[in-house]
Amino acid sequence: MEQLQELLGHPTELYNLVKFKMSGSGVSKVDQDSLSDNLRVCYKYLNETGRSFAVVIPMLDEELRHVMCIFYLVLRALDTVEDDMTISLERKIPILQNFHSYLYQPDWKFTDSQGKHKQVLEDFPTISLEFRKLAKVYQDVIADICHKVGHGLAEFLEKKVDSLQDWDKYGYCASGLPAIGIVQLLSASKLEDPVVGQDMELVKSLGLFLQKTNTIRDYLEDQLEGREFWPKEVWSKYAKKLSDLAKSENADKAVLCMNELIVNALQHISDVLTFLSRQKNQSDFNFWAVPQVLAIATLATCYNNQQVFKGVVKIRKGEAVTLMTEATNIQAVKAITYRYMEEIYRKIPSTDPSSSKAKQMVSSVMSISKPSSGFVSQTTYIPIYLSGVILLVAFWWQYLRY
């Protein structure tokens, strides 16, 4: 009933969600009949593990679509090894460091993982086979990025994220390098303007922004699994141990700590907008823009929200779908950014010692994302005759989906 009330409280989102489901999404947009059996399995894994990427990858041109699907699954397998705390460091570190070599070993797989995405490790031969079918120029990029990411992640298994500089370095390994790999793959395809890949600092910022958002949002999940990615330089100002932030008596301090990290992440939005403004290919723009606007919305939801330390915090499904349909050009992305910056600004607590810094950062982002005077929002308004249908669908979704 709670989910139903949430849906009915945002009728435009509900309408967009219904349209999205009825039109097909993710792997359903790929022509299944044109795929080999192995590639069909790969898209199945993408749909199971890919979140927003399961939506944006099928939007790419066909050749790039398959390349990005395999690239994503290779990195997902690598990430699954890193995240699985049941694997000893003695086993995990060599696997991460040598993971790129497994791409060329037809029979290599790992069946001892307890991770939630363990299927990509158990059936890695299917993924590696499709990797070896790619053009050599794509194979070289994927193998090189896999090599660098594996070594970077292995390094942070043996050291803590102490400083903000460490936080940036870890984010670069986990998401910055993959973003650079994506640009290199786009460049190799000749489908994107070469200027897009000329400033790798912008690309690095895109990756850092996504990674910081993930580590902020996933605080509790990481704590429960025994992982720590928040920089000690920040959290040590609020608690003796990072795990102490989850204690009810530290709720106020925990939120202040998180707010400080969110403000740090917002510094990357300027680079994100600059990068997106250079995208000329529509499918590529969508590919980059959707994860970024979802991250912006996620940070707005997390800001000053004690629920991050109590359970899972995610944006609404209807909200996510609405953002996906809106973020099709740079002016729309700026409008979305401005909207969520206004939301964060309203939530900045006056009692926060860093409130002036937060207001300055948010105001700075708002100044560069304010929509132009001629921009018309793409917000969908629900035809009145569909309201009854939507109510019926909502009740059906709530009560009959099981």
Which residues are known catalytic residues? Answer: 170, 217, 227, 287
Residue 77 is encoded by which pair of tokens? Answer: 């397998």
Q: Which residues contact 25 (CB under 8 A, 6 or more apart)?
A: 55
CA distance 12 to 319: 9
Residue found by looking up tokens 């990025």 in the block:
145
Q: Which residues contact 146 (CB under 8 A, 6 or more apart)?
A: 74, 75, 78, 99, 100, 103
CA dihedral 389, 395, 400, 401 (to 10 degrees): 80
Residue 130 is encoded by which pair of tokens? Answer: 């499709």
CA distance 355 to 359: 6
Counting other chains too, the contacts that 369-372 makes at CB distance below 8 Å and 24 or more residues apart are 369/269, 369/273, 369/334, 369/335, 369/337, 369/338, 369/341, 370/334, 370/338, 371/331, 371/334, 371/335, 371/338, 372/331
Is-contact 42 126, C-beta < 8 A?
Answer: yes
Residue 133 is encoded by which pair of tokens? Answer: 């079918």
Burial of 215 (C-beta count, 10 Å sphere; 0-12/13-18/19+)? buried
Residue 193 is encoded by which pair of tokens? Answer: 């303007």
CA count, 13 A, side-chain hemisphere, 262: 32
